[in-house]
């Protein structure tokens, strides 16, 4: 499988979290009409995941097994889960921190290399890259099966 990259702008440690989708899983229309295409996170397996810094800004990468849908977040037309929504998911036992990694700006680190078994993700994958600035960015390269779906809305 070909890894899909996801660019993460840096946020504060309590900033928004990104629901992870590949670029080809485009946002839905959000109109709620019959037959429109809707995207949402789903279970899957992380086969490997690397993070690449922007060349100068260090930070912390957090990876969460979570679906913003469970907290009422619009992860169809947007890909944002607020920190408050994530706190609600954690308190309800519907989100789990699966990795928290400090990276230097020049790092390229393998966070997961799960081999043939893969690392299961039960709800979907969310990520946040944070530092005190907040300045900079990071890119994660995800090789996975599942984690998102696009389906036709039936109302």
Asked whether residue 104 is domain-assigned, the answer is yes
Total domains, the chain: 1
Asked whether residue 7 is domain-assigned, the answer is no
CA distance 86 to 89: 5
Asked whether residue 140 is domain-assigned, the answer is yes
Model confidence over 39-49: pLDDT tens digits?
999 999 999 99
Asked whether residue 11 is domain-assigned, the answer is no
Asked whether residue 117 is domain-assigned, the answer is yes
Q: Which domain holds residue 43?
A: 16-25+37-152
Asked whether residue 123 is domain-assigned, the answer is yes
Four-residue CA torsion sign, 15, 17, 23, 25: negative
Model confidence over 87-129: pLDDT tens digits?
999 999 999 999 999 998 888 888 878 666 778 999 999 999 9
Residue with tokens 């893969």: 118
Asked whether residue 10 is domain-assigned, the answer is no
Which residues, 6+ apart, have CB-to-CB distance to 132 below 8 Å? none
Instruction: Please name every residue paired with 37 in a beta bridge, in sequence order, or none if there are none.
Output: 152
Asked whether residue 30 is domain-assigned, the answer is no
User: pTM of the full predicted structure?
Assistant: 0.91
């Amino acid at each position: 499988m070909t890894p899909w990259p996801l660019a993460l702008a840096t946020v504060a440690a309590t900033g928004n979290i990104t629901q992870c989708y590949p670029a080809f899983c485009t946002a839905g229309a959000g109109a709620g009409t019959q037959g429109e295409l809707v995207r949402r996170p789903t279970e899957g397996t992380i086969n490997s995941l690397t993070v690449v810094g922007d060349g100068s800004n260090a930070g912390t990468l957090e990876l969460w097994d979570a679906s913003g849908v469970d907290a009422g977040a619009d992860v169809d037309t947007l890909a944002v889960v607020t920190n408050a929504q994530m706190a609600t998911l954690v308190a309800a036992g519907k989100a789990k921190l699966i990795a928290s990694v400090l990276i230097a700006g020049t790092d390229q680190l393998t966070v997961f290399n799960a081999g043939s078994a893969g690392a299961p993700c039960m709800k979907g994958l969310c990520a946040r890259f944070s530092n005190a600035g907040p300045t900079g960015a990071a890119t994660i390269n995800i090789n996975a099966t599942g984690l998102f779906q696009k389906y036709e809305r039936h109302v």
